[in-house]
Structure 1
Amino acid sequence: MQQLSLFAAESEEPAPTDLAGLLAAGGHAVATGAGARVSIIVGAPWRARAVLQMMQQALRAGRPPAAETPETAEILETDERRPLVRTDPAPELVPVARAWQRGAIKRVPDGWVPSARALRAWSLAAGRAVEGHYLLGLDPHAEQTHQPLAAALARAGIAVTVIGPRGGGPAMRVTGRRRLSRLRENIGEPPADGPADAWPPG
């Protein structure tokens, strides 16, 4: 079994592949003439700010330093007044988009193991603690990804249970002190402006 690094997400170098965690959480990748764009609707402004920061870090990684760095992502608002965070079209995201799409259908890449930073992105976008468990939200419109994502987390050393809408999902439920501790070790410190239930209990 492959294992995640014991280093927290803050110790990993940012990379465009970090944003795969947003696709696991319910985000979308769309190819454009200028590259590919990743976007996700989140449930609160603090989530939008945290996701925006991860997008900016991921896209600036590896780019040569410049006197003026162009914007790489932005926060908008849906018609339902929910925060929408999206990147600019970027060539760095083309491999991510191709790996996660089969035609118009979202898919989990074969053998994918989420990095610590991808797990952090997933947690920031759609994670919450509920009654001693931690739920990682899933895309309700891409049920075909749910079991493959459970397998991906198992490969990362975190066993989960897939729960449906009646259980507060669709989501991955992480239960048990050891699994919750492993998840916390990898996703790093909680966001300063997030609520108490934003991070795994411990």
Structure 2
Amino acid sequence: MFYSVGVDGTISLFSAEASGPGLADLAGVLCGPGRMAGFGRTAARLSAVVDEPWRARALARECRRRGAEAQVTAADCGRPLVRTPFRVDLLPLERHWTRGEEKVLPDGFRLDGAMLRMWALAAGSPQGNGYLLALDPEAPETHERLITALAQLGVPAKVFKGEDSLLRITGRRRLAHVLELIGDAPVGAEPAWPSLVPVVRAV
């Protein structure tokens, strides 16, 4: 078992390396664009429409690391889509994250580094001297609670310039903490990772 050492010398029990990868980590995709769909009460699958093909490929690899095969295709809108097959072991995520046809945040939800890593892959990007995390614009009731979950993880975030579905994390110390929590970028996912050097990027 591995633990990350923070900038202040403390050991983080919430980093992506603190425990082995597991299906529970996929909740991080649901913090952003991910959606769960059930097949009766027998199985469920995770899907996410993302902005760039490399995000879909990276998410598919991370899903496979957690024992869930995933395919990359195109959504009806033409954007990249990553999707798992229906699986019995994804039912807990579906039950906790959906109410009827709506996506909800589970009661008592606690974010950790592994989930934050998946969120960054799905919907994170450096911008200026900060870092942006996209929320699901179709699940606005999750937004405030996700801000709270980030704060509990030691990563305070604010709504970015009136964009209700974008959160911004600023400050070198906070960005360094995010990097400690999520670990190194997977190959090809470097554009999504926080940077301690200001990055000029169109939003």
Q: Give me the TM-score of the superposition, normalised by structure 1.
A: 0.84
- The amino acid across from 1:82 in the alignment is R
Q: Distance in 1 between matches of 2:21 and 2:186?
A: 17
Deviation at 1:195, TM superposition (A): 4.9
Is the 2:51–2:80 Cα contact (8 Å) retained in structure 1? yes
Instruction: Kindly indicate which of the two structures has a greater share of residues assigned to helix.
Output: 1
Judged with a 3 Å threshold, the aligned counterparts in structure 2 of structure 1 residues 36 and 150 are, in CA distance, closer, same or farther, namely same
Q: Distance in 1 between matches of 2:76 and 2:152?
A: 38
Q: Distance in 2 between matches of 1:22 and 1:81?
A: 20
Number of aligned residue pairs: give it: 186
Aligned-pair identity (%):
42
Residue of structure 2 in register with 1:150 after alignment: 147
Residue of structure 1 in register with 2:19 after alignment: 12
Deviation at 1:59, TM superposition (A): 3.0
Q: Distance in 1 between matches of 2:142 and 2:95?
A: 15
SS in 2 for 1:151: helix
Q: Give me the TM-score of the superposition, normalised by structure 2.
A: 0.84
Greater RCO, 1 or 2 (C-alpha within 8 Å, sep 6+): 1
CA offsets per residue over residues 61-84 of structure 1, 9 Å max, x none? xxxxxxxxxxx2111112332110
Deviation at 1:6, TM superposition (A): 4.8
Gaps of 5+ in 1: 61-71
Q: Distance in 2 between matches of 1:147 and 1:163?
A: 13
Deviation at 1:132, TM superposition (A): 0.9
What RMSD, in angstroms, separates the aligned Cα atoms of the two structures? 2.0
Per mean C-alpha deviation after superposition, the further-off stretch among 20-29 and 184-193 is 184-193
Q: Distance in 1 between matches of 2:120 and 2:76?
A: 24
2:123 is the counterpart of 1:135: no
Is the 1:138–1:172 Cα contact (8 Å) retained in structure 2? yes
